[in-house]
Chains A and B, each alone.
Chain A
């Protein structure tokens, strides 16, 4: 399995608080992605990165920001969490554009 870890794996927080999720890879892959998964919506892309400090928006980027200061880490930040951001968040990596994505184990976030 590709070396991808996500932390924390579970988090409960309150509305209005900032939350940062971390994705860490040991594969030295260039591309990294954040998805959220909700019942009835499948997996939806939030943001992705195509290199250090290079990021772009996905389908559902509102309310989220990302940062990638080094190849191995991709951070997803909810500046002020809302209940609609309760979800399971998956990180993925790929070596090159149009190549296979490998997914992390996911982070379950509950915003009360």
Chain B
């Protein structure tokens, strides 16, 4: 399973785009990249996932590099409620390894 590397913390101004990077250089060809977030004391919440192509949904966009060694989660207009820990996970669903994630703080 892919090991992922994320920055420990990031800040973002309210209303600006938040770009959260993730390195997953050991990801294999059939492993998806998943992004979840966890708001304090709550269960993790699914955001988006992708395999090769860029993806967009109502919450975020996911940009995956052509070599699949890294990806970026984009929150286009961050709000204070987006303050959370964001987890990037590479792997299959039966052995998903959640690391420490990136603590995103959205500031007014």
Contact = CB atoms under 8 A, between A and B. Distances in A.
A58 B96 CA distance: 10
B92 interface: yes
Interface residues of B, number: 21
Interface residues of A, number: 25
A100 B34 contact: yes
A97 B93 contact: yes
Interface stretch (A13-21, A66-74, A75-83, A103-111): A103-111
Contact of A42 (B43, B46, B99): B99
Dominant secondary structure at the A interface: strand
Contacts, number: 55
Nearest to B100: A42
Interface string B23-37: 000000000101010
B94 A102 contact: no
B99 A101 contact: no
A21 to B, nearest CB: 14
- 8 smallest beta-carbon distances between A and B, as pairs: A103-B43, A43-B98, A42-B98, A100-B46, A103-B44, A98-B93, A98-B92, A90-B43
